[in-house]
Amino acid sequence: MRVLLVEDDADLSKRIAASLRAENFVVDIARNGEDAEHAGLTEIFDVVVLDLGLPKIDGVTVLRSWRSAERTLPVLVLTARDGWPDKVAAFKAGADDFLTKPFKIEELILRLRALVRRATGHAASVIACGDLSFDAQLGTFELAGLPLKLTAFEWRVLSCLILRKDVIVDRRELIERVYEGDADVDSNSIEVIIARLRRKIGAGRIETERGRGYMLRTGQ
């Protein structure tokens, strides 16, 4: 799951990013509204954490710009502004959720996971694909009722595939959701991760669509 974290407080953004990365999120950070607006319009994210009081362009204006451009990515507003008018402005601009500072990082993570789950069309927190299941709220996998041990990269790939099961996920999208933006990515790194996943969950579950990407098939 790839997150755009828009927060101008450098210390706070580092703390949030570290906590999210510990939960297998891929995090990009923008510290002003101008950079945030550009990133949201040009790159792929599963969810956004957006502050309102930003340098250059305020958060509400950034959000309106995304929605005007028909960018549907889910947005959680995280701000010290707790007044009713601020909440109204944020939701009218297109926010999906609103959390005020100070906050518990555990609550932020749960809310982000819920937003990603709903954005991919899943009402229930547990997503099943045969005897493979993913608890999208807890971030855990089970295979045949037993916990499935995965590396961080394996978790990121498999969570992306199961959230979009029976749909081809473009290889480039997988790379962007698995690696940080400045990572030095080997050309066959995704293939290596897919091969390891096939050994752990069964070779027939993940199909390769040549020239396009990969799909986790429900029927396997």
CATH number at residue 49: 3.40.50.2300
Distance CA(55)–CA(145), nearest Å, equals: 49
Print the domain residue range for 174. Answer: 126-216
pLDDT of residue 112: 97
Tens-place pLDDT, residues 7-21: 999 999 999 999 999
Torsion of CA 178, 180, 184, 190, to 10 degrees: 0
> Of the candidates 93, 119, 145, which is a domain's last residue?
119
- Domain count for the chain: 2
Distance CA(139)–CA(4), nearest Å, equals: 19
- The segments of the chain whose pLDDT lies below 70 read 181-187, 219-220
pTM value? 0.89
The answer to whether 170 touches 212, Cβ cutoff 8 Å, is: yes
Write the CA distances from 7 to 4, 101, 125, 151, integer angstroms.
Answer: 10, 12, 28, 29
Distance CA(167)–CA(217), nearest Å, equals: 8
Q: Among residues 206, 209, 180, 183, which one has the least CA distance to residue 194? A: 206
The answer to whether 28 touches 45, Cβ cutoff 8 Å, is: yes
- If asked whether residues 80 and 163 sit together in one domain, one would say no
pLDDT of residue 185: 65
pLDDT of residue 218: 86
pLDDT of residue 187: 62
pLDDT of residue 10: 95
Distance CA(135)–CA(198), nearest Å, equals: 20
> Of the candidates 62, 89, 119, which is a domain's last residue?
119
